[in-house]
Structure 1
Amino acid sequence: MTPAHSRMLTPRRLLMASIVVAVVTIALKTLAWVITDSVGLLSDAMESLVNLASAVFGLVMVTIAARPADEDHPYGHHKAEYFSSGFEGILIIAAALGIIWAAGHRLFDPRPIEQVGWGLALSVTSSALNGLLAWVMFRAAKEHRSIALEADAKHLVTDVWTSAGVVLGIGLVHFSGWLWLDPLVAMAVATNILKEGFHLMWRSSQGLMDEAVEPEVLATIQQTLDGFASTAGETTIIRFDHVSSRKAGQRRFVDLHMHMPANWSLGRAAAVRTSVEQALMSAVPGLRATIQLLPSDVEAHFDDERDLI
């Protein structure tokens, strides 16, 4: 994605587009359900309602996450995106349970499906819109490191698979005459989106619990630090330890200790630290590095029993 596209396809703009697409797909899928009376298409329409609610909530959370740090939130508001992901997971689970409830009643009271051709055409059209938007959102989510955007894109993909399952089920019902397949397909679709809902809730919880940065990012950080570590004969001049990291929405943080000779002046030590910080932030976009300076012969101790009381 080019820089111009990155600036244009921001999380806020894409979530606004998701709201518009959700409204259109709700209209298409509801019309498909009305003309066919298929519980499978009803489940598809319910899934799109969840898309709309989650996109609206995601837009609110992304807007909050973009706020600058203030006195009450000195580290920023980046974690707001995790609430969006968790909320979307809850909505997906609620929609899946509603689909199972509706399909369970229809399983014992099957009804014929009307005007199959029109119903499938409307469903396929709405799925194409969702699939295209999801593809764009996945690329933008990676570029902007936005979990809210990624969650909405995953939900849209789930919606596409839901529609595909429904279309297949309705086709089988039409050609076989087995009316019980319609609610059975709806229940299978609901089971699949339940899994996605729980996955989103799990990812959200891990983010709120200060999950470490990705292994590849941590490897980049270590590689950058290795470029500054130095020795002279048997003596270590600069070394790093106690490297810890965490993620907060689009932002990444790393804390570490940098040991250097005790006879260095404060100005020299500070200059080296500045170089290390700039190198780290250049190597990992969105990273904030906090480095504590220590003499080479001083070790910091953590997990003191008094800290655990």
Structure 2
Amino acid sequence: MQGMNAERLALGTILVAVLVLGLKLVAWWLTGSVALLSDALESLVNVGGAVMAWMAVHYAKRPADAGHPFGHYKAEYFSAVLEGIMIIIAALLILQQSVQALGNLSETVEWGRAGLLVNAVALVLNLLWARLLIARGGALKSPALTAGGRHLMSDVWTSVGVLLGLLLALATGWTVLDPLLALFVAVNILREGYGVVASSVNGLMDSAAPEEERDQIEELLHHAAAGALQVHGLKTRRAGVALFVECHMVVDGSMTVQASHTICDHIEEAIRSTFPEAQVTIHVEPEHKLEPSGIAPG
């Protein structure tokens, strides 16, 4: 599975989400538990989010064209934002169900253990797929897959809490635990939804590449810009899998265009050797454009 590309992973997520939803609905049908219903509602959101993620990943891989000269990479961020909004809506629905259940408590616990077992199977399936999505989403620089993995992992911890709580309710007869657990589910989902939206909006706002990547780029510039006087004005941004790098390179005023172009080629090759997805733009300047601080070629 480590070799699966983003589109296949997104398609697999749809299939897993539908299967998990089916299992959780069966668990709710067997038990009538409002906490398990809330868990199933979150999985319903997972299905919608998985479909959007697949569409976004499919669209994002399209090559640049006249209308989108920088590519379609940001499509994944829109998908992640929409998924975050759907997560929040699901949480609000669960809150409503929980409050209603608190006002209509049953006196005895009548849940069958079979329903809890079915939900446990769904939990394990979610856990395995969430770990895969987070790992591969990070490796592929896919916001949609990473958001989906984070959402599923939140679902996993929610399910763990629900199952443990319902087992405690079975052991003690405390029926109030069922709607209280549903409230816990809702709060947890709200937190995760906010996190997904916030991180995705940050990507849409052209946030800089992570500090670790920027440090690597500065080191590459230091070694690859030999022959130049200075490199300054470094700017980076991430758009899904794509990395955009811009900088100014100061050269001796007497240097030929060919010579300065050769240095630019060296810089681009060095950056792309580490970041194959990078799109590099270098502005060449004469020596009077030297800045007080900049990257001195080594």
Normalising by structure 2, what TM-score? 0.94
Deviations 1:117-155 (A, max 9, x none): 111100100011111111111121122110100000011
Contact 1:221–1:284 (CA<8 Å) still a contact in 2?
no
1:262 counterpart = 2:253: yes
SS at match of 2:229: strand
1:139 counterpart = 2:130: no
In structure 2, runs of 5+ residues without a counterpart are 292-298
Listed as ranges, the matches of 1:90-101 within 5 Å are 90-101=85-96
Aligned counterpart, 2:46: 51
Contact 1:96–1:194 (CA<8 Å) still a contact in 2?
yes
Aligned counterpart, 1:22: 17
Deviations 1:17-47 (A, max 9, x none): 1111111111111111111110000001101
- Tell me the distance in 2 between the aligned counterparts of 1:122 and 1:183: 20
1:191 counterpart = 2:187: yes
Contact 2:111–2:170 (CA<8 Å) still a contact in 1?
no
Listed as ranges, the matches of 1:65-144 within 5 Å are 65-111=60-106, 112-144=108-140
| Count of residue pairs brought into register by the alignment | 290
Correspondent of 2:272 among 281, 294, 298: 281
Deviations 1:178-224 (A, max 9, x none): 11110001101110110010011111111111000000000001011
Q: Which amino acid aligns with 1:160?
A: V
| CA distance 1:20–1:229, shift in 2 (3 Å) | closer
Measure how far apart 1:238 and its partner are. Answer: 2.1
Query: Cα RMSD (Å) of the superposition?
Result: 1.4
Aligned counterpart, 1:306: none
- Tell me the distance in 1 between the aligned counterparts of 2:289 and 2:139: 41
Normalising by structure 1, what TM-score? 0.91
Aligned counterpart, 1:303: none
Q: Which amino acid aligns with 2:53?
A: G
| CA distance 1:200–1:229, shift in 2 (3 Å) | same
1:212 counterpart = 2:212: no
Deviations 1:275-299 (A, max 9, x none): 1111011122321110011111236
| CA distance 1:62–1:169, shift in 2 (3 Å) | same
Aligned identity (percent) is: 39
Q: Which amino acid aligns with 1:186?
A: A
Q: Which amino acid aligns with 2:105?
A: P
1:292 counterpart = 2:283: yes
Q: Which amino acid aligns with 2:251?
A: M
Aligned counterpart, 2:233: 242
1:165 counterpart = 2:167: no
Q: Which amino acid aligns with 2:103?
A: F
The range that moved more, 112-121 or 43-52, is 112-121
SS at match of 2:179: helix
Q: Which amino acid aligns with 1:270?
A: H
- Tell me the distance in 1 between the aligned counterparts of 2:83 and 2:140: 19
Aligned counterpart, 1:180: 176
